[in-house]
Amino acid sequence: MERRIVRTSDGSRTIQIPQWQEQYHSMHGALQESRHVFIRHGLSLYADRKLRVLEMGFGTGLNALISLLEAPKLGLVLEYTALEAYPVTQQEWQALDYGGLFEDDAARDHFQKLHQADWEKPSAVTPWFTLCKVQADLLGFSEEDAYDLVYFDAFGARVQPELWTEAVFGSMFRALGGGGRLVTYAAKGSVRRAMQACGFTVERLPGPPGKREMLRAVKPV
């Protein structure tokens, strides 16, 4: 399947899949979307603790990189697990050059380490960020009470509806500890209802540029 690098409205790049008319990030701004959905409405709700994060769709590595850079500002030590069925190539992540988007001089080095980290085992990228990349299909995921925060960043329901079902959100519910949160750019009514059917309390929040709303789901304590 063809994948091409394209520039989004905030100047950051993403990967586009022409066959699906879909991108890994919003064309209204890849960097803005990641910051708004996963940092502002997810990671920034925590401070001064160890935090277990699960990302469903490692993709370009942008969400992981921003989380790594933001964690020390929040006093967080992150144990970050990322699932990805189809890893991007070295040529692709180098062309994205996400490290160059940040004033932090170490950002490029961190981005490279994220992508070069071994699969299937934890890698200490920094003293405050340990990454475990797992090459696996989201549909086969099964863990219990293992995470505090989920970044749900799968491709949209238009192209992969099987990833936005009650069965999948049930597995997310079980994977979170009590009080755990799941954040996603999606806002469809069918997605919200699937989350609620699993036991989540679901909030509609203002969306990133180009989207009116997004969702945050909370597992009761």
Confidence class for position 1, pLDDT limits 50, 70, 90: confident
Query: Is residue 42 within 8 Å of 183, Cβ to Cβ?
Result: yes
Quote the pTM value: 0.96
Tokens of 213: 């709303």
pLDDT of residue 138: 85
Cα atoms in the 13 Å half-sphere on the side-chain side of 89 = 8
- Rounded distance between C-alpha atoms, residue 142 and residue 136, angstroms: 11
Classify domain 30-218 by CATH architecture: 3-Layer(aba) Sandwich (3.40)
Which of 8, 29, 27, 107 has its CA nearest to residue 61?
107
Mean residue pLDDT of the chain comes to: 96
Domain boundaries, the chain: 30-218
CA separation, residue 65 to residues 108, 195, 213 (Å): 9, 27, 24
Question: In this predicted model, what pLDDT tens digit does every residue of 73-121 receive, in sequence order?
Answer: 999 999 999 999 999 999 999 999 999 999 999 999 999 999 999 999 9
Q: What is the mean pLDDT of the segment spanning 139-162?
A: 94
β-pair partners for 6 = 14
